[in-house]
A and B are shown apart, each in its own frame.
Chain A
Amino acid sequence: MTIDTQQALFGFALRLGDTSLVLGHRLSEWCGHAPELEEDIALTNIALDLVGHARLWLSLAGEAEGQGRDEDRLAYRRDVFDYRNHLLVEQPNRDFGHTIVRQFLHDAWAVELYERLATSPDAGVAGIAAKALKEVRYHVQHSAEWVIRLGDGTAVSHAKTQEALDRLWPYTGEMFEADAASSALAAAGIAPALADLRATWAARVADTVAEATLTRPADGWMHKGGLRGEHSEHLGYLLAEMQFLPRAYPDAVW
Chain B
Amino acid sequence: MAQAEQAGRADAGCWGPEPGADPLVLTAWTALAGVMDPEIPVLSVVDLGIVRSVERLDDGAGDGRCDGRLAVTVTPTYSGCPATGVIVLEVETALARAGLDATVRVVIAPPWTTDWISDTGRAKLAEVGIVPPPAAGKRALTAPLEAIACPLCGSTDTAQISRFGSTACKALHRCNACLEPFDVFKCH
Q: Could you list which residues of chain A lie within 8 angstroms of chain B, going by C-beta atoms?
A: 24, 38-39, 41-42, 45-53, 55-56, 123, 126-128, 130-132, 134-135, 137-138, 141-142
Contact = CB atoms under 8 A, between A and B. Distances in A.
A42 B164 contact: yes
Interface in B63-89: 76, 78-82
Please provide the 5 A-B residue pairs with the shortest distance between their CB atoms, ordered closest to farther.
A52-B80, A52-B79, A127-B109, A38-B162, A48-B80
A137 B141 contact: yes
Given A123-B109, A126-B109, A130-B110, A52 B141 contact: no
Nearest to A37: B162
A131 B142 contact: no
Nearest to A128: B108
B164 A41 contact: yes
- Decide if the interface of chain A is mainly helix, strand, loop or mixed: helix
- Decide if the interface of chain B is mainly helix, strand, loop or mixed: loop
Given A52-B78, A137-B141, A141-B163, A45 B108 contact: no
A134 B141 contact: yes
A226 to B, nearest CB: 23
Contacts of A138: 141, 163, 186
A56 B111 CA distance: 13
Given A49-B79, A135-B78, 14 more contacts: A24-B80, A38-B161, A41-B162, A41-B165, A42-B162, A42-B164, A47-B80, A50-B80, A55-B79, A127-B108, A130-B110, A131-B108, A131-B111, A138-B141
A50 B79 CA distance: 8
28 contacts: A38-B161, A38-B172, A39-B162, A41-B165, A41-B166, A42-B164, A45-B168, A47-B80, A48-B168, A50-B80, A52-B76, A56-B108, A127-B109, A128-B108, A130-B109, A131-B109, A134-B111, A134-B113, A134-B141, A134-B188, A135-B78, A137-B141, A137-B142, A138-B163, A138-B186, A141-B142, A141-B163, A142-B163
Contacts of A52: 76, 78-81
A141 B107 CA distance: 27
Contacts of A134: 111, 113, 141, 188
Contacts of B168: 45, 48-49
A131 B79 contact: yes
B141 A130 contact: no
Query: Of residues A47, A49, A132, A134, which shows the largest number of chain B Cβ atoms within 10 Å of its Cβ?
Result: A134
B151 to A, nearest CB: 20
A57 to B, nearest CB: 10
Query: Of residues B80, B109, B188, which shows the largest number of chain A Cβ atoms within 10 Å of its Cβ?
Result: B80
Nearest to B79: A52
Contacts of A137: 141-142
Nearest to B82: A48
A76 B168 CA distance: 25
Interface in B111-131: 111, 113
Interface string B22-45: 000000000000000000000000
Nearest to A127: B109
B142 A38 contact: no
A161 to B, nearest CB: 19
